[in-house]
Amino acid sequence: MKVIRNIILALLAVVVLVVIAIGVVIFVIDPNTYKPQIEQAVEDNTNLDLVLAGDIGWSLIPLGLELNDVEATLDGERLIRLDQLIAQVDFWSLIAMSPKVNTFVLDGLDARLSVAEDGTGNWTRVMPEPDASTDTTDTAAPAEPAPDEAETGREPLNFNVEDIRITNTQVHYDDLSTGQSIILENFSLSASQIALGQKFPLELAFHFATGEPEFDVDGRINAQLSANPALNEFEISGLDSQFSLSGAPFGEETVQARLTGALTANTENETATLTEFRAALANMELTTNLNVSGFGDQPTISGDINIPEFSLKELLTTLGQSAPETDDPDVLNDIGFSTDIGGPAGKVELSNLTILVDDTTFAGSASYALSNSAIGLKLSGDKFDADRYLPPASEEAEADAANDSGESAPAAETAATPETDLLPLETLRGLALDINLGLGELIISNLTIADIKTVVTANKGLLKMSEFSGQLYYGDFNANVTLDARTDDPKWVIANQVNNVQTLPLLTDLAEVDLLAGAANINMDINTRGNRMSVIREQAKGEINFNLAEGKFTRMNMTRMACQGIALANGETLTATDWSEGTPFNDMKGTLKIDGNTLNNTDLVAALAGMELRGDGTVDLKASELDYEIGLRVVGEIHRDEACRVTEYVEGAVIPLECRGNFEEDPAGLCSFDGSRFRDTLKDMAANAARQKATKEAERAIDDKVGKELEKRLDGETSEKVKDAIKGLFN
């Protein structure tokens, strides 16, 4: 025991002697006398000029160093300036091999970093260039890797910090190659009782600004931090951070943002958790709870996200952006979002997905694959009025409408806008989509469409809309489109089928045109190619078959047009004044052959009262021109007006009509009686009348001449039979 006691006493004596020696050095030697040597040593070994203008001090308990008023310049320009640095370590903690920083104070740090036009930073010039004549080849044997803790069995270093204070810090960064400048100023940090394995408070504040674009952030962050001794598990709790954002991105407005919540992460297990995390920007707020397992390419994510209702217009205005002008000023004021998050590794699946857009609620699910960015979406909504979100009618549009109605409007020459590609083909080739959308009712361009179903898929540039169907004005439609964008000359295949859609309310709501009524049945098959609208129209090939049952031309009285021709043939004038505005018909049908911008029709046919309509002509889509000829063949009585009576030589005649002009103008004024073609009709009528007259004269001749002779030689009954036979021969 005496030996052990002597050893302990010897160790204590050594410690006391070391403490006394350090104390003698600290209290006897003044470090300020060595400032010239320190400055010269820095200048000899670096490209810096060091100026120690303030005092240097040190202490024993706690063991510390203090620097004041220090500046380092590079090529005559300030690189770093420091008002004060205090670093104090608890002396006895060093003896116990558990170092504890008593105090660390950094005040007035000013760093000036810059990048020249050639892209080199000034900090790269701190150390001198190596001497080319010096052989820098390292011939020493490679160092053995340090054994890890598991191999040595040593405990992690227990490092504690009593107090850290950083104040009045600023960093200026200028990049002459890009023109960008960044400033971090008024930076302050305060933390105390920092120890591994336990929570400690952190307070941080700063001002951050950029030059291009001008952007400023004033931030303040409070939180509780902790890290385990192995430094592989971290936690942030009680996070409460606030930011004031301003500058060009916000239209010179100041916007408030806030982050609260808690975060835990384990780098060894590759897990992270966000708990009650809340992010607020102006009037918008997002809350989430998320769990992440795996930090590589195949993470597993679960949790939820919720964005309560907010006004998008108010948000944009607060951010200094122009809120979109809408026809209904009350829209975009109730926007919301919520979903649960799950899915297997490498795939994010959104379930119980709800999107609120004012009065419309969309519900469904979505998915996103991290490996190939494949998107899946299944969403259905109740009712959406798209017209409420369109821009209000502009004064120019109103002036154009007034000009179309005959009022004067100032002429304006507008340069033609260069045509551009419709679709980003490279982007389409990278899409992987599986989208299924449904909507109970959609109002767009005044059209009301119900029970909409849309199915869209995309894979490596091949896009298919296999279904786009719905209920439309007492009928239904179904369209499908295939777009092959795998080449730079994409191919389009379009098919559409319309069944029993009432045209009158459709055209009235769509274009305020009440010209045609009836139940439309249409089959459309079109093939084309190209990525610009002009090319797509020029390359279009196909046909449209149509049929209108029990229809009516609502603003065109073809009966009156036909009666005008009949009255001319009869040499009389129409006296009726109560003509209706429309013309009913039965089963109008035909085929439109599509050849680029031209639609050709040669088989238009319809049944009218006392007439049969036949027509043919062309539609020039590029020039918006219609060139159509219609013939009304008289097959029976047409109208009660005496001048319109159907005589023997009128029956079977064709009354010609023409429809010509720009169909962007009033369609009701395009069709009229064709007087030039009616001359041919009159010739036919005259020929018919001449034949009728010749027949009657022949009959009279038979009666007068042949009949008398036959009566002399034959009895009465036989005579009549012979006369009828001769008349038939002449006919």
Global pTM reads 0.75
pLDDT of residue 131: 62
Tell me, letter by letter, the H, E, C secondary structure of 465-515.
EEEEEEEECCEEEEEEEEEECCCCCCEEEEEEEEEEEEHHHHHHHHHCCCC
- Give φ, ψ of 233 to 5 degrees: -135, 125
DSSP character at residue 119: S
pLDDT, one tens digit per residue, over 11-37 is 445 444 445 555 544 555 567 776 788
Coil/strand/helix, residue 269: coil
For tokens 């674009």, what's the residue? Answer: 213
Q: How far is CA 483 from CA 339, 464, 528, 543, in A?
A: 32, 6, 10, 19
Coarse DSSP helix, strand, coil percentages of the chain, rounded to the nearest 5 percent: 25, 45, 30
What band does 93 get if pLDDT is binned at 50, 70 and 90?
A: low
- The identity of residue 77, as a single letter, is E
Structure confidence at residue 400 (pLDDT): 55
Q: Find the angle CA(54)-CA(55)-CA(58) to the nearest 5 degrees.
A: 145
Instruction: List, as one string, the DSSP characters of 140-200.
Output: SPPPPPPP-HHHH-PPPP--EEEEEEEEEEEEEEEETTTTEEEEEEEEEEEEEEEETTS-E
pLDDT range class, residue 712, cuts 50, 70, 90: low
Contacts of 351 (CB under 8 A, 6+ apart): 339, 340, 341, 342, 365
Tell me the C-alpha distance between 209 and 217, whole Å. Answer: 6
Which residues, 6+ apart, have CB-to-CB distance to 253 below 8 Å?
246, 318, 319, 320
Please tell me the distance from the alpha carbon of residue 664 to that of residue 169, in angstroms, as a whole number.
Answer: 69
Q: pLDDT at residue 726 above 50?
A: no
Rounded CA-CA distance 568/575 in Å is 13
Q: How confident is the model at residue 667 (pLDDT cuts 50, 70, 90)?
A: low
Classify 386 as helix, strand or coil: helix
At 697 the three-state DSSP class reads helix
pLDDT tens digits, one per residue of 105-123:
889 999 999 988 888 888 8
222 or 578: which leads in pLDDT: 222
pLDDT of residue 301 exceeding 70, the answer is yes
Least confident piece of the model among 156-170, 242-256, 333-347, 371-385:
156-170
How confident is the model over 195-253, as pLDDT tens digits? 888 899 999 999 999 988 889 999 999 999 999 988 899 999 999 999 999 988 888 78
Looking at the predicted structure, is the pLDDT value of residue 101 above 70?
no
Measured between alpha carbons, how far is residue 330 from residues 147, 320, 648 in Å?
A: 68, 20, 68
The string over 160-190, giving b where at least 16 C-beta atoms fall within 10 Å of a residue's C-beta and e elsewhere, is bbbebbbbebbbebbbeeeeeeebbeebbbe
Q: Which two tokens stand for residue 72?
A: 């380092």
The 3-state secondary structure of 54-100 reads CCEEEECCCEEEEEEEEEEEECCEEEEEEEEEEEEECHHHHHCCCCE
Where does residue 617 fall: left (phi above 0), alpha (psi -120 to 50 degrees), or beta otherwise?
left
- Residue 528 and residue 621: Cα distance in Å, rounded? 15
pLDDT tens for 669-693 read 777 777 777 777 777 666 666 666 6
| DSSP H or E run through 615 | strand 611-620
pLDDT tens sequence across 447-498: 889 999 999 999 999 999 999 999 998 999 999 999 999 999 999 999 999 9
In tens, the pLDDT along 372-395 reads: 889 999 999 999 999 999 988 765
